[in-house]
Chain A
Amino acid sequence: MCAFCPFNISHSLLHMLHAHAHTHTHTLHMHHSHSLSVKAHFRLAETEKKKEQAYFDRSDTSSIDTATQTTTCPAQERARNCCIFSQKNLGNFFKDLTEAQESPSSHFSKPWTEETNDSSPAFLSLSLAPSMAVWDLSVTVEDLGSDAPPVTLSVASDLHVGGVILKLVEKTQIKRDWSDHALWWEQKQRWLLRTAWTLEKYGIHADARLVFMPQHKPLKLCLPNGITLKLRACFSNPVFQTVMGICRMLNIRHPEELSLLRPIEQKKKKKDKDSAEEIYDLTEVPLSSVSRPCLYNGMPAHFADSTQMEAIYKMLSVTQPPPAPEVIAKQYRPASVVDKAHIHGRWLDSSRCLMQQGIQENDRVWLRFKFYAFYDIEPKYDVVRLTQLYEQARWAILLEDIDCTEEEMMLFGALQYHISKVSQSEPQMLSSSAAMDDLESALQSLEVKMEGETSTASEMLEYMTAPELNDYLKIFRPKRLTLKGYKQYWFKFQDTSISYFKSKEESIGEPIQQINLKGCEVAPDVNVTAQKFLIRLLIPAPEGMNEVYLRCENEQQYAQWMAACRLGSKGKTLADSSFQSEIQSIRSFLAMQKTSSSSHGNVPANDESINTHSLVSPRYHKKYKTKQLTPRILDAYQNVAQLSLTDALMRFLQIWQALPDFGLSYVVVRFKGSRKDEVMGIAPNRLIRIDLGVGDVVKTWRYNNMKQWNVNWDIRQVAIEFEGNVNIAFGCVTADCKIVHEFIGGYIFMSTRSREKSDTLNEELFHKLTGGHEAL
């Protein structure tokens, strides 16, 4: 065992020296070396620390490497590394050793008897090293099954953790890759990841319950889009790193913006349904391949392996179709700010690992964007990120996690409709690789070039004469006539104007009236079942707005004239390229009305038959029937119908971000000296204090005025000092103050990102800002 590495020796030496100085040593052995108080030992302790550091730097990387290549026992590998380091300092050890031997204490008098490791090179010093008492350590090996009894090893306190593992592996006699395994100390809830540390240094005694298990375990991960993945996540590193690993696997950039939270408990009744829920398995993805994401076909290589994997990637990168209204209604909706605050109490601690936070293998957690500071969104590289962000925003709207007005809701609904439609029709765009993009742009420029060259005179002439619409329609102008009557005329739509004549024959002459639609308001008044197709126009004039109704005979006619009016109102002519697509979208909306008003059984796989209730929050399910809702969404839709998928996603996010409550994470707090609960809203750039009684924002503090913030971990209080001698302090009610601390530190971290252009994540800084006492 001592053969493992010189650190052992140094440890022993330390102890020897210690023993030498103090007559009773045993209790001290229980403590870590840095707790030693004797000055004389410091030098030694420090060198040891340094060496250890070096060792770990080295061994950390090596363990990753070996994970893929070999079945070599990691402990051996590490032992070898240790040896390399050790040689340099060998001289010192001997010196120390001799010193120690000159004054042996009773404790060390016991001869070294155990010989455990025959394979590793033995040092001369080994024989010199005094040995310690041997005791039994029992370790549960998870891979043997839960029923299997713990494996018992005889160890001495100066045995290295790596040595324990080595022994353990040998004893189990199972040949496999153990490289991901590590020891978990149940009572203390900590991993024994420093294989160079001795049991003594860790403070492990015979009563310790250790579990030997893999560090990466399957985890059910619920994504913002509602899909559940099963993947292997790291249970031993801080959650921050776990999230980094997950994001790397899923191809999401800027993992610092995301985190994990405990799911809201589902009602028990639903359990049967949950079991039916499909879980997409990613556990087969080799951990090694994730470390280096290289894109293949626009997706990480591990997704390109099989068609199933590709399907999963598509699920990640393409927006989900609108959920059924019942699904929305069934979801948990926070009813108040306090409810929302409770959700934010569920965030996991970024600086501790999953095991430490009670997350077990196969548990379910949510992956969500936690910090609402989205840095550098680049649709080309951020397909998954953008999609998931959109999904999170969409659900926040649908579940009224963030409030918006009715008008805004209609616009969100229209965008959702458009996005789902476009993403079904052009899924290619999403996964296009960089190379494809280049090709595309090259083609495009070629096109432009050719256009330029071929723009002959005749073409130019063509351009000058825009197409027109001609037809018989009925018109009604409420202002002029007291009698409600539609009169039929021959209508002509040219440029951006409508003219009408008594009849087709007279259309050559002067029109009865010409109406320029530029700047007018166009609204539909349609009832498909009643075959009512009205176009309501509000036409601006110097005296005010004139109201005009146009009545069309059928859908076809309506779609054309409606589209023309819409273009006209924007100052566009029928020559505009969007005319046809405008007609299409109007028709599909008409179709929606048809299906939603007709019987339910009549809903084929027609993707145009979206129930508009799927696009708005349940509040509006009650308020409006689909028949009423559809025209309103259509109304909003006309402003977004021409957007590309990416633009529509971005627009959705922009409108979301422009909402007054955007980016607020709530915590119920109690201010120092106050007796009532209040709510603290944490935003990307400020803190707000909300009075629960009134619901009003009482006070706003901006981070850029913040001088410092402190957390008193004993009394669980957050104290913040702002410029101008403003001091606030509060305790947290619905969340641990670590969560609040992490939010504030996290946002400050986020704001530092733009300055350093490098892509590498400054993990250390993040922990410094968010870790609290644990980071020190």
Chain B
Amino acid sequence: MDDIDAMFSDLLGEMDLLTQSLGQETVPPASLPSTDTEVNFPIGFGDLNANLHELEDNDLDALMADLVADLNATEEKLAAEIEGLKVPSPPPSDLPPPPKGLSIQPASSLASPTSPARGTSSNVSTPASSTASPLPPPPPQSSKPSKEEIEAQMKADKIKLALEKLKEAKVKKLVVKVLLNDGSSKTLMVDERQNVREVLENLFEKTHCDCNVDWSLCETNPELQLERTFEDHENLVDPLLAWTRDSENKILFQERGEKNEVFKNPQNFYLWKKDKRALKEIKEKDKELLIQENFCGTSIIVPDLEAVLYLKEDGKKSWKQRLFQLRASGIYYVPKGKTKSSRDLVCFVQFDNLNVYYGKDFKSKYKAPTDFCFVLKHPQIQKESQYIKYLCCDDAWTMNLWVTGIRIAKYGVSLYENYKTAEKSAVSSVWTNRSTPSSSNPSTPSPTIKAKSPSQANGHAPKPQPGPVSQDFDNVPLPPPPPPMADMLPPPPPDPVLPPLPPPLAAKSSPKPATPQRHLPSNFPPPPPAMENLPPPPPPPPINDASEAPPDFLPPPPPPPAAGYGSLPPPVSSLPPPPPPASFGGMDLSLPPPPPDPGFLPPPPPRPMFTGAGGAPPPPPPPPPPLQPAAPRPAAVRPTGSVKKMPPAPPKRTTPAQHGGGGDGGGDFMSELMLAMNKKRGNN
């Protein structure tokens, strides 16, 4: 037993070292990222170093956040454990979501990664089960002592933890730079279990946009002059992995009306043959009926499209006209001299392995008859190839009709589900916005808030809301509150650990939201046992937010998620749930705890890092990189930071710190952390 124990602690230690090294590595390459091209680095332990060197400064934040998340997770576990031991679990029970869940959360965050191991698809069951059973024990604690059983349990948990970490290590993560409309960008860490919706929610939180259903992530391929909107249920990492290393592809965060147009005006797609004027006068009731008929029946009905389109012939420069038909099973064309009868149709493509893209400026690039072109290709194809199908339409409307029709045929009911989810999110954001003022207030009281922030309930909660619903579990684990919508929001539980608070706020009436936050602070005290030790301000993850937060928030560092909300002036709070990927959420939560005191750091893995950090308060880790969409903010930020990219972290830090007295503490934390990391690096 001892051997095994030793072995595993070694393993854990090693892992921690690895993580640390990661953090360190990132730190050094502080070279400013002037380059606009964004680079996605697959981060795996294997090729970490190589990648790290390429990282830009900005990206460091994200990385840091990620790392911290790990720590936090463990930390939380610990806290949960302590709670479990010392405090009966009453508090959790109050929590709307599973109280236990909360405590578990940390664990779950870890666990979740495990389950999916490689697959993108998250096996919910596995993580859940694992988390549930072993709730408390992960990190061996001093407090635990007493029983042997506990020790045994601890051992087992350790093993699990190690394994989970191993698996976690296998989860692909990318640092992604997302370009905003104003030319600025945000850098995010996205792991392979996250879907686009979650990333969007994350961006909502960071940008304080209005969260309407049109917001989308788009991929552009300058080489092929293509672009496409990711569907909300898609995994973001997968398509990005298809990019070549030297790719100039970009990811944009934009409002794309065509994404959900079919649900706003279904008549334009399903009754397109009808008189245009009559379509304009169609009643809401009839629209609903159309959606019902086509998306809510046993079978999804694809718009019945038929048109003469131009097809660029394989390898040739000429465009040939053909009569195409769209069916649920693919695109067909009518061969020459044949009738339009189904049995005579020739299959042009089926959609299993193809994505549909809009072509840009094909008139000049490929001598297309018009600029209204769309393209079908395997997502992995990144350069010109005979396997790419180019089609050209007479007008923009036809093109939209076809692209949307193809999406319906390919994705089916997922599109409608995405729309409903987005709608809910938009609605909740509206609510929050209304409440915003109040929420903003809470944020002001930085000191208290910070304390709260650690709990981060807000930050976490949000995530769950958005993401959970849609699918990936990954996120879910973190924040307990699976209830996607605000409806469920039971008032935030008092537990510090519990992250659920935020969501409720957003969803619920304005007044309430405000209160919850305030309450939280008060509530926080309870957790103190564990919490107290922990100094509040571990702001790593929030970094991104920090950029914004700084202005308002003095003490940004401490409350990562909270900061996100509260700090961002009003908007933040309004942002429903930041769907930040699980990893983020985890980070937030964990953040608070870790920083506290090295001494306390119970969780073995995280500790090392922290300990080191504790030693020195070097560079402030979280640079406030991306400019926020919010006009005012960004403006403010920009000056401070570098033009496009995220300014080096340090500046931002300082800003926030200056603002808030309380913030200083937080800042120190961060700097301490950085110091520690540097130290470590040095040691290595």
Chain A residues, Cβ within 8 Å of B159: 457
Among A452, A521, A724: residue with most chain B CB under 10 A = A452
The docked-state distance in angstroms from the alpha carbon of A453 to that of B352 is 38
Q: A405 with B342: in contact, given A452-B130, A655-B328 (CB under 8 Å)?
A: yes
Chain B's closest residue to A572 (CB) is B119
Please determine whether B286 and A650 come into contact, CB atoms closer than 8 angstroms: no
Query: Would you call A519 and B353 a contact (CB within 8 A)?
Result: yes
Q: Is the CB of A545 within 8 A of B327?
A: no
Contact status B385-A657, CB under 8 Å: no
**B299 CB contacts on chain A under 8 angstroms:** 653-658
What residues of chain A lie closer than 8 Å to B387, measured between beta carbons? 544-545
Query: Does B446 lie at the interface of the complex (its beta carbon under 8 Å from any beta carbon of A)?
Result: no
> Which B residues lie within 8 Å of A521 (CB)?
353
B574 CB to closest chain A CB (Å) equals: 37
Is A524 in the interface zone, CB < 8 Å from B? Answer: no
**Minimal Cβ-Cβ distance residue in A for B339:** A695
B242 within 8 A of A: yes
Q: From A374, A544, A700, give the contact of B298 (CB < 8 A).
A: A374
A400-B343, A406-B347 known; A543-B304 Cβ under 8 A: no
Quick check: is A200 within 8 A (CB to CB) of the other chain?
Answer: no
**Partner-binding segment picked from B374-382, B483-491, B563-571:** B374-382
CB within 8 Å for A540 and B383 given contacts A657-B297, A695-B341? no
Instruction: Please give me the residue from chain A that is nearest to B380 by CB atom.
Output: A540
Interface: A411 (CB within 8 A): yes
Q: With an 8 A cutoff between CB atoms, is A46 at the interface?
A: no
Secondary structure call for the B interface = loop
Cross-chain contact of A658 among B278, B301, B343 (Cβ < 8 A):
B301
Tell me the nearest residue of chain B to A408, going by C-beta.
B329
When the two chains form their complex, are residues B156 and A404 in contact, meaning their CB atoms are under 8 A apart?
no
B118 touches A495 (CB 8 A): yes
Q: B399 an interface residue at 8 Å Cβ cutoff?
A: no
Chain A residues with CB under 8 A of B301: 657-658
B316 to nearest A CB, angstroms?
16
Determine which of B166, B271, B327, B388 lies in contact with A464 in the assembled complex, contact meaning CB atoms within 8 Å.
B166
A702 CA to B328 CA, complexed, in Å = 22
Bound together, the chains give a CA A685 to CA B266 distance in angstroms of 15
Task: Evaluate contact between A448 and B129: CB separation under 8 angstroms.
Answer: yes
> With an 8 A cutoff between CB atoms, is A157 at the interface?
no
B307: chain A residues within 8 A (beta carbon)? none
Contact bitstring A88-119, B, C-beta under 8 A = 1, else 0: 00000000000000000000000000000000
Contact residues, B467-495 vs A (CB, 8 A): none
Confirm or deny: B125 has a beta carbon within 8 angstroms of a beta carbon on chain A: yes
* Nearest CB in chain B: distance from A544 CB, A: 3
Cα–Cα distance between A705 and B290 once the two chains are bound (Å): 12
Q: Indicate whether A541 sits within 8 Å of B381 (C-beta atoms), given known contacts A457-B156, A724-B278.
A: yes
Complex Cα spacing A205 to B290, Å: 58
Q: In the complex, which residues 450-484 of chain A have their Cβ closer than 8 Å to any Cβ of chain B?
A: 451-453, 455-457, 460-461, 463-464
Q: Which residues of B contact A543 (CB under 8 A)?
A: 381-383, 385
**A519 and B379 in contact (CB under 8 A), knowing A403-B341, A405-B327, A455-B126?**
yes
Task: Knowing A374-B298, A407-B330 are in contact, say whether A619-B343 is a contact too (CB < 8 A).
Answer: yes
Segment 662-680 of B: residues with Cβ below 8 Å from A: none
Q: How far is the CB of A764 from chain B (nearest CB, A)?
A: 25
Contact of B302 among A455, A540, A544, A658 (CB under 8 A): A658
- Contact mask A363-394 → B, CB, 8 Å, 1/0? 00000000000100100000000000000000
Interchain CB contact under 8 A, A573 and B342: no
Taking a contact as CB atoms under 8 Å apart, the answer to whether B385 and A545 are in contact is yes
Contacts of B26 in A (CB 8 A): none
Instruction: Considering the complex, give the chain B residue whose CB is closest to the CB of A409.
Output: B343
Q: Tell me, rounded to whole Å, the shortest Cβ–Cβ distance linking B57 to chain A.
A: 29
**A571 to B300 alpha-carbon distance, docked (Å):** 26
Interface residues in A, total, Cβ within 8 A: 54
Q: How far is the CB of A673 from chain B (nearest CB, A)?
A: 22
Give bound CA distance, A374 to B298, whole Å.
Answer: 9
The answer to whether A655 touches B329, judged by C-beta atoms less than 8 angstroms apart, is yes
Query: Is A704 in the interface zone, CB < 8 Å from B?
Result: yes
CB distance from A452 to the nearest CB of B (A): 3
Binary per-residue interface labels of chain A (495-515) against chain B in the complex, 1 for a CB within 8 Å, 0 otherwise: 100000000000000000000
Contact indicator B118/A573 (Cβ below 8 Å): yes
B residues near A411, Cβ cutoff 8 Å = 329
A660 within 8 A of B: yes
B37 CB to closest chain A CB (Å) equals: 17
Q: Is A542 an interface residue (CB 8 A)?
A: yes
Question: Is residue B340 within 8 Å, beta carbon to beta carbon, of the partner chain?
Answer: yes
Most B CB atoms within 10 A — which of A545, A571, A695?
A: A545
Contacts of B386 in A (CB 8 A): 544
Judged by a CB distance under 8 angstroms, whether B401 is at the interface is no
Q: Quick one: which of B132, B380, B383 has the most chain A CB within 10 A?
A: B380
Quick check: is A326 within 8 A (CB to CB) of the other chain? Answer: no
CA distance A613 to B558 in the complex (A): 71
Residues of A contacting B300 in the complex (Cβ-Cβ under 8 angstroms): 654, 658
Per-residue interface assignment for chain A, residues 295 to 339, with 1 indicating a CB less than 8 Å from any chain B CB and 0 otherwise? 000000000000000000000000000000000000000000000
Q: Which residues of A have CB within 8 Å of B347?
A: 405-407
- Contacts A457-B159, A460-B163, A519-B353 given; indicate if A542 touches B343 (C-beta within 8 A): no
B345 within 8 A of A: yes
Chain B residues numbered 108-158 whose CB sits less than 8 Å from any CB in chain A: 114, 117-120, 125-126, 128-130, 132-133, 156
With a cutoff of 8 Å between Cβ atoms, the chain B residues found around residue A542 in the complex are 242, 244, 380-383
Contact of B519 with A by CB under 8 A:
no
Whether B350 sits at the interface, judged by CB under 8 Å, is yes
Known contacts: A452-B133, A704-B286. The answer to whether A407 contacts B381 by CB under 8 A is no
The reply to whether B383 and A455 contact each other, CB–CB distance below 8 Å, is no
| Residue from A377, A457, A619 with most neighbouring chain B CB atoms (10 Å) | A457
Query: A704 — which chain B residues lie within 8 A by C-beta?
Result: 285-286, 289
B256 interface residue per 8 A CB criterion:
no
| Smallest Cβ-Cβ distance to B293: which chain A residue | A685
**B354 shortest CB reach to chain A, Å:** 10
Residues of A within 8 A of B431 (CB): none
A519 B378 Cβ-Cβ under 8 A: yes
**Mask of B532-568 contacts with A, CB within 8 angstroms, 1/0:** 0000000000000000000000000000000000000
**What are the residues of chain B within 8 A of A400 when measuring CB–CB?**
343
Whether B343 pairs with A407 at a CB distance below 8 angstroms is no
A154 CB to nearest chain B CB (Å) = 62
Measured between beta carbons, the chain A residues less than 8 angstroms from B41 are: none
- A661 touching B329, Cβ below 8 Å: no
Look across to chain A and name the residue whose beta carbon is closest to the beta carbon of B223: A542
Interface residues of B in 271-301 (CB under 8 A from A): 271, 273-274, 278, 285-286, 289, 293, 297-301
Within the complex, what minimum Cβ distance (angstroms) separates B118 from chain A?
7
Per-residue A-contact encoding for B151-190, CB less than 8 Å = 1, 0 else: 0000010011001001100000000000000000000000
A544 contacts B381, CB within 8 Å?
yes
Query: Do residues A405 and B345 form an inter-chain contact, with CB atoms below 8 A?
Result: yes
Inter-subunit contact B342/A660 (CB<8 Å): yes
Q: In the docked arrangement, what's the CA distance between A653 and B328, Å?
A: 13
A757–B166 Cα distance when bound, in Å, is: 52
**24 pairs from A and B in contact (CB 8 Å cutoff):** A377-B298, A400-B343, A403-B341, A405-B347, A406-B343, A406-B345, A406-B347, A408-B329, A451-B129, A452-B130, A457-B156, A457-B160, A460-B163, A464-B166, A521-B353, A542-B242, A542-B380, A542-B382, A545-B387, A650-B298, A655-B328, A657-B297, A658-B301, A724-B278
The 4 closest A-B pairs by CB, nearest first: A452-B129, A544-B385, A540-B380, A403-B342
Q: Which residues does A use to contact B, with CB under 8 Å? A: 374, 377, 400, 403-408, 411, 448-449, 451-453, 455-457, 460-461, 463-464, 495, 519, 521, 540-545, 571-573, 619, 639, 650, 653-661, 685, 695-696, 700, 702, 704-705, 724
Q: 20 extra interchain contacts, Cβ-Cβ under 8 A, other than A448-B125, A463-B117, A654-B299?
A: A403-B342, A407-B329, A453-B129, A540-B378, A542-B244, A543-B383, A544-B381, A544-B385, A544-B387, A544-B388, A545-B387, A571-B119, A573-B118, A658-B299, A658-B301, A659-B327, A695-B341, A700-B271, A700-B273, A704-B286
